[in-house]
Amino acid sequence: MKKTFKIEDLCCANCAAKIEEAVNKLDGVESAAINFISQKLIITAEDDKFDSIMKQTVKIARKIEPDCTIIM
């Protein structure tokens, strides 16, 4: 399953790269990419693990960039 999410208040490309790298390491994630310019996150992952992956993704994003919000 492939889904696109809007990201708000992502301050820099370096933070985006850190989030992207961490999400790509999650179990069940086939690919994750953040476009800093358009403030979008695209995740391709296994359908049955998607909810868990998104919860972990939100935690990762908040840890790296506390003001960042992923709109689901």
**Number of domains comprising the chain:** 1
The mean pLDDT of the chain is 96
Range of the domain at 44: 2-71
Domain with residue 61: its CATH number is 3.30.70.100
Residue 39 has pLDDT above 90, yes or no: yes
How does DSSP assign the chain, residue by residue? -EEEEEEE----HHHHHHHHHHHHTSTTEEEEEEETTTTEEEEEE-GGGHHHHHHHHHHHHHHH-TT-EEE-
Residue 21 has pLDDT above 90, yes or no: yes
pLDDT at 61: 96
